[in-house]
Amino acid sequence: MSYFSELSRQYIDGRWQAGSGAWDIVDLNPYDGEKLAAFTVATVAEVDQAYRAAERAQQEWGRRNPYSRRLVFERALRIIEEREQEITEAIIAELGGTRLKAAFELSLSKDMLRECMQLSLRAEGRILPSPVDGKENRLYRLPVGVVGVISPFNFPLFLSLKAVAPALALGNAVVLKPHQEAPVTGGTLLAKIFEEAGLPAGLLNVVLTDIAEIGDTFLEHPVPKVIAFTGSDQVGRHVARVAAGHFKRTVLELGGNSALIVLDDADLDYAVDAAVFSRFAHQGQVCMAANRVLVDRSVAAEFTERFVAKVRTLKVGDPQDPATQLGPLINSAQAEAISAQVDQAVAEGATVLLRGATVGTLMEPVVLTDVPAESEILRRELFGPVVVLVPFDGEDEAVRIANDTPFGLSGAVHTGDVERGVRLAKRIETGMIHINDGTIHDEAIVPFGGEKSSGVGRLNGEATVEAFTTLKWISVQHGRSRFPF
């Protein structure tokens, strides 16, 4: 595909160049194993070049009229709209995403660009009173300078854009390190879009590399003031430790183990539809996915019968086929790891309600129940098409089970009484939770983020302004101060 041959290079200071490392990152189609591209890795020297270019370019960009900055995002939106079909094919090829998944990711990406047009104008200052006569306290909201962004493989176009575009809109420069499994859709494709949209050279740099080559250089480099990371909680902990040691701020969007709770007065058919989508969207490779479906025992048998019947109908296969609902996992190692987690749960006593075959990267859905309370599968993130059904007796037990996990990202409550659902939702230790809906949602103006091991900080809307700007206090004494000596 032309995107992969054209965009298989580093993008530093407005130039497309090969990395100078001694080995290549090979980009493979997860469905058929086809080689899409190879990228010679960036070294420590190229990471330094990228950050220094960003530092130089940001000075003028930060001073630019925000009405001028927003034009870049208008043009970027038009480019994506004009090339939706090409980008869709890239998402399918590189990620194994279905056509439905690609459409969802593109919709989120376009909404984020629309929000960034407005975000450019939202870095508002304030004037505060002072107890000192004649003094004026001005608070200026300024760009932080340079932001380092590390993005994941599951929704790489959107999740890269979600940090990159707002940071740029607010007057910063960015160095982006996409995941090795998504170097184009999560990295160089964005560079190409913004290059064509007229973003000045140096403001967005994309380095394709790995910690095996650069260690912690991306985090430790003196230029970036904020590190925005989306990925696993294990890596997120490391990012947090290193960044804190260098007095850098972090925005950490980490994993989840969300619960979708079905109360005794829920619309069961609707709850089944919501639960199936919430678990199996993009093969379960979604941080907000409903790993656990908690069902009131009074309706558990009926819900389970309908749920398993619907899951049986899901079509697994070639993501190019519009009828496919579950494509491949990102690689065979991921499929093997998920299968091993299922095997462990079964060995511990879990009951298998449904388990199909796993062939290479294709994994048919797995539905488990009767999982022992101490089983690890109930508490960890499951990044694959596996779900656990858990019965409960009453709301208090539902809350206890839902909160019995280190994570706290998303969730959902299904009930015939909305306010009952809200009361219950307030007791769930998550950053986000949805009444009578699925667990997978992201809206450009609503704060997105988690509690506990699901992350630190929020993105979207005003939360993004907080994340990528800093406050500066400038006082003006209009009279004369009196000093004690």
Angle between helices 99-119 and 461-468 (to 10 degrees): 70
CA distance linking residue 212 with residue 216, whole number of Å: 9
Q: How many residues does the chain have?
A: 485
Please give the chain's pLDDT, 485 residues, in tens.
Answer: 468 988 999 999 999 999 999 999 999 999 999 999 999 999 999 999 999 999 999 999 999 999 999 999 999 999 999 999 999 999 999 999 999 999 999 999 999 999 999 999 999 999 999 999 999 999 999 999 999 999 999 999 999 999 999 999 999 999 999 999 999 999 999 999 999 999 999 999 999 999 999 999 999 999 999 999 999 999 999 999 999 999 999 999 999 999 999 999 999 999 999 999 999 999 999 999 999 999 999 999 999 999 999 999 999 999 999 999 999 999 999 999 999 999 999 999 999 999 999 999 999 999 999 999 999 999 999 999 999 999 999 999 999 999 999 999 999 999 999 999 999 999 999 999 999 999 999 999 999 999 999 999 999 999 999 999 999 999 999 989 889 99
Strand ranges in 210-327 using DSSP code E only, listed in sequence order: 226-230, 249-253, 258-262, 290-296
Question: Which of 253, 364, 395, 419 does the annotation list as catalytic?
Answer: 253
Question: Which of 287, 305, 348, 376 does the annotation list as catalytic?
Answer: 287
pTM of the model: 0.96
SS3 352: strand
SS3 171: coil
In the residue annotation, 116 being an active-site residue is answered as no
CA distance linking residue 188 with residue 10, whole number of Å: 7
Predicted confidence at residue 96, as pLDDT, reads 96
CA distance linking residue 275 with residue 292, whole number of Å: 9
Could you tell me the sign of the dihedral formed by the alpha carbons of 302, 308, 312, 317, in that order?
positive
Predicted confidence at residue 3, as pLDDT, reads 81
Strand ranges in 158-246 using DSSP code E only, listed in sequence order: 173-177, 204-206, 226-230
Predicted confidence at residue 205, as pLDDT, reads 98
CA distance linking residue 243 with residue 250, whole number of Å: 7
Predicted confidence at residue 5, as pLDDT, reads 85
Tokens of 94: 């590189």
